[in-house]
Amino acid sequence: MSGSARAKSKTLTAWIAFLGGGLGLHRFYLHGLHDLLGWLHWPPALLGAWGLWRMDHYGQDDRLAWLLIPLFGLALVAGAAAALHAGLMPDARWDERHRPAGPPGHSGWPAVFAVIGALMLGATVLMATIAFSAQRFFEYQIEPAPQGQASP
């Protein structure tokens, strides 16, 4: 069994992943603070947040910001995907992994609402991240012609 000996709630895991999965909070809930994968969520999320800060302070033409902001979007998408994974896992499989000695759990509608929210947020953020990245990529591919030269 992963994490501590306590039984873990599938519904609570889905909601933690939905609300704080970009920072790996769901992994800390399931496996404790010594979980390496939980800590690996932090660098992309913090770099992406720094990109948002740079965009706010230096404007839209900051090239480093447009490289960092998609990391924030991908961190949010990773959290939404974790919420989908936890929320859609069959109760029997969840119980086998996270509460083998405890009574069987029943997730019900709260887990479904977490999955619905994660799907909506994850899809929206993923589309926005792709659109932002593609727009910035193509903006920097088109460079203005040098001034003073006639076009052919």
20-64 pLDDT tens trace: 999 999 999 999 999 999 999 999 999 999 999 999 999 888 889
Average pLDDT value for the chain: 89
Q: What's the mean pLDDT in 1-12?
A: 73
Q: What's the mean pLDDT in 110-123?
A: 96
Q: What pLDDT score does 152 carry?
A: 57
pLDDT-derived band at 13, boundaries 50, 70, 90: very high
pLDDT: which is higher, 78 or 63: 78
- Is residue 35 within 8 Å of 18, Cβ to Cβ? no
Q: What is the pTM assigned to this prediction?
A: 0.83
Q: What's the mean pLDDT in 127-149?
A: 82
Given a cut of 70, whether residue 94 has pLDDT beyond it is yes
- Helix ranges (H only) for the chain are 10-20, 25-31, 36-39, 42-58, 63-88, 91-98, 109-141
Taking the mean position of all CA atoms in its chain, how far away is CA 61?
Answer: 25
Give the Cα-Cα-Cα angle 39, 100, 94 (nearest 5 degrees): 60
Q: What pLDDT score does 103 carry?
A: 77
> Distance between CA atoms of 137 and 70, rounded to whole angstroms?
12
> Distance between CA atoms of 78 and 76, rounded to whole angstroms?
5
Tokens of 104: 């069987």
Given a cut of 60, whether residue 70 has pLDDT beyond it is yes
Q: What pLDDT score does 1 carry?
A: 45
Q: What pLDDT score does 150 carry?
A: 57
From first CA to last CA, the distance across the chain in angstroms is 71
Classified as helix, coil or strand, 100 is: coil
